[in-house]
Structure 1
Amino acid sequence: MSESTRPAADAAADTALAPTGPEESRPVAGLVLPLDTPPISVETEVDSAGLQALLAHTEETWNRLGLEEPHWSVISAECFKQATVEAFKDEFFASGAGNVATFIAFLARNGVDPARFKRVLEYGCGLGRVTRHLAERFPEVVGCDISPSHLRQAGQYLQDCGLKNVELQRIRSIADVDGPIDLDAIVCLIVLQHNPPPAMAAILEKLLRRLRPGGVAYFQVPTHAVGYGFKVDEYLAHGIGSDHIEMHYLPQRRIFQIARDAGCDVLEVREDDWVGRRQVELSNTFLLQRR
């Protein structure tokens, strides 16, 4: 396996999201990543053909997961696997309310009034777990995903919830991420980490430029892991053949650069519990605002 990729299951990657109960969801105790940790080498530039190859690989992996283990692919707790998920579906979908509540708390701490938001985009909407709770609060919600199988199930779930203010969009290329400057808020949680760093950077660049002045982006990205590195040529040559869930990292300095270039101020950055190995990994939740 290339050092550029790591199976998310090995990293205990999304399990902190499980709402209650399972062992995988318990907070990780112990030391956090040391303050003197050295930098990691991560290439984030790629040509258009290479970027499309990265996105196509991500789509293939996640569409398969959406068919085989849709709920577990979103929150990697054993109770959400197909064999047992029926007993836990209500818990799965209810957990999105907590994610939206945390988003609102970030806004409140920074003096941003969500009552003025008209149009909110969730990038990586999955099965609609968070989308539903956004749609219950905001007039217009756009849910985007690279996986057609997830989108189909999200559409059915949101219809069953009686929600008529959600537009679902499939992402096939980076051009689909681009669009008019019509967004008041962007929400993206446990999504970007499953894209190679050049794709993460390109997606963020496109999304941030769609914010209206005063609009905000609330997103989570793993920003460091001891021993991680990413080389574009190596990954394109060897990494794309893998079929496991990958975990990738985009250094904070690159995220801050993308924010500056898009005319965004950093309102808040928090270390979070979205990754499982806090002794060797760092994940951050960001709140940015477009000037």
Structure 2
Amino acid sequence: MSNTLTFADLARACYRALLGREPENEQVVQDRAAAGLSPEAMMQSFINSDEFRKHTSEQAIHDYLMLNNTYDHLDIEVDVPPETLRKMFERIKGEWAALGETEPYWSVLTSDAFRSENIQQHLDDFFQSGQTNINWMQNIARRNGVELGKRQTCFELGCGVGRLTLPLSEVFDHVTAYDISPGNLRECEALIKAKRRENITTRLMTDIEDIRQAPDFDVLFSIIVLQHNPPPVQKFILDILLDKINPGGVAYFQIPTFIPDYNFSVTAYLDDAAREMEMHAVPMHQVLKLLKLKGFELREVLQDQFTGMPGSHSFLAVKSG
């Protein structure tokens, strides 16, 4: 160390810059200085501490949530003619057909642990995460005075490989599960057969109009699904499904309503040849307007972490009956 910066000075600087506070007293500063660590090792000792992790996590969450307040306009097109909807759906269908053949589990939860070469070692974690998500739904419903359970039928939009389908089948009398990916649906159907679940019906969506053929049901369930569709497709599907819910029924679904620096132009989207997992948002006011139009009482809007970005929300609403 030079004469202008002592180890004690460095310790004080670490407390202030890394932990965001003053040291408890001079003794802890002197103890740090006398520990015999190099400057790099001293800084690393602060970074490795539980206090640093907690401090940075809280700051990150604060900054993350505050992003929602920095935009006064969302340039997102949501209304298009039927032929444009069909073109968008065909594009999404192609993307998910490829994902279902190559990475069915990773396409559901994008962690390297769930890639094809790793999934067998992590299957328990994968499916346990599904039970956790169902527990969340039940907790949100209970605290809002909403009963979910037997004597109700459930429609699951985007069943994937069955991560949520099986626990849903334990909650409800019957589950109708739709998906767009043939590969993912094969995995789901194999799981249903292996577990001998007889209260699940599956269907592959091959056309956007297939959603109109869904049966009436009591509970809509969909998380981390709508977000992968362009805003007009999200709105169209949600519009149809809300009509299918029986009077007194429940809608529980997740949609990003804001993504930093996101906009959506129909022309630009259709002209873009990129083919990768997509992430899209529908403005909050559009979702709330649709729920009101369909006769739903909104019970809770919860900002969630499903996208790993600010602006994703889970909605719980009850249909008038």
Q: 1:72-83 counterparts in 2 under 5 A?
A: 72-83=106-117
In structure 2, which of residues 281, 303, 307 is the aligned counterpart of residue 271 of structure 1?
Answer: 303
Is residue 290 of structure 2 the alignment partner of residue 290 of structure 1? no
More helix by share: 2
Q: Tell me the equivalent position of 2:203.
A: 169
RMSD: 1.7
Decide whether the 8 Å contact of 1:119 with 1:138 is kept in 2: yes
178-187 or 252-261, which deviates more: 178-187
In structure 2, which of residues 130, 133, 136 is the aligned counterpart of residue 102 of structure 1?
Answer: 136
Q: Tell me the equivalent position of 2:9.
A: none
What whole-Å deviation, never above 9, does each CA across 1:199-228 have from its counterpart, x for those lacking one? 000010001000001111101111112221
Which amino acid in structure 2 is aligned with residue 274 of structure 1?
A: F
Q: 1:29-40 counterparts in 2 under 5 A?
A: 29-31=61-63, 32=65, 33-40=67-74
Q: Tell me the equivalent position of 1:257.
A: 289
Which amino acid in structure 2 is aligned with residue 249 of structure 1?
A: A
Which amino acid in structure 2 is aligned with residue 62 of structure 1?
A: W
Measure how far apart 1:260 and its partner are.
1.5
- CA distance in 2 between partners of 1:266 and 1:152 (Å): 35
Q: 1:1-291 counterparts in 2 under 5 A?
A: 29-31=61-63, 32=65, 33-115=67-149, 117-179=151-213, 182-236=216-270, 238-239=271-272, 241-277=273-309, 281-291=310-320
Q: Which runs of 5+ in 1 are unaligned?
A: 1-25
Measure how far apart 1:289 and its partner are.
1.3
Question: Normalized against structure 2, the TM-score is what?
Answer: 0.78
- CA distance in 1 between partners of 2:209 and 2:150 (Å): 28
Identity of aligned residues (%): 33
- CA distance in 1 between partners of 2:213 and 2:295 (Å): 17
Larger Rg: 2
Measure how far apart 1:36 and its partner are.
4.3
What whole-Å deviation, never above 9, does each CA across 1:229-259 have from its counterpart, x for those lacking one? 11112212x23x2211011011100001111
260-269 or 175-184, which deviates more: 175-184
Secondary structure at the aligned position of 1:115 is classed as: coil
- CA distance in 1 between partners of 2:129 and 2:260 (Å): 30
- CA distance in 2 between partners of 1:169 and 1:206 (Å): 16
How many residue pairs are counted as aligned between the two chains?
261
Cα 1:179–1:156 change in 2 (3 A) is same
Cα 1:265–1:68 change in 2 (3 A) is same
- CA distance in 2 between partners of 1:181 and 1:90 (Å): 32
Decide whether the 8 Å contact of 1:179 with 1:210 is kept in 2: no
Decide whether the 8 Å contact of 2:228 with 2:279 is kept in 1: yes
Measure how far apart 1:119 and its partner are.
0.9
Q: Tell me the equivalent position of 1:15.
A: none
Runs of 4+ in 1 over 3 A off after TM superposition: 26-30
- CA distance in 1 between partners of 2:222 and 2:306 (Å): 12
Decide whether the 8 Å contact of 2:299 with 2:316 is kept in 1: yes
Decide whether the 8 Å contact of 2:92 with 2:229 is kept in 1: yes
What whole-Å deviation, never above 9, does each CA across 1:7-37 have from its counterpart, x for those lacking one? xxxxxxxxxxxxxxxxxxx996441124243
Q: Which runs of 5+ in 2 are unaligned?
A: 1-56
- CA distance in 2 between partners of 1:139 and 1:146 (Å): 24
Decide whether the 8 Å contact of 1:215 with 1:290 is kept in 2: yes
Q: Indicate the structure whose relative CO is greater, using CA pairs within 8 Å and at least 6 residues apart.
A: 1
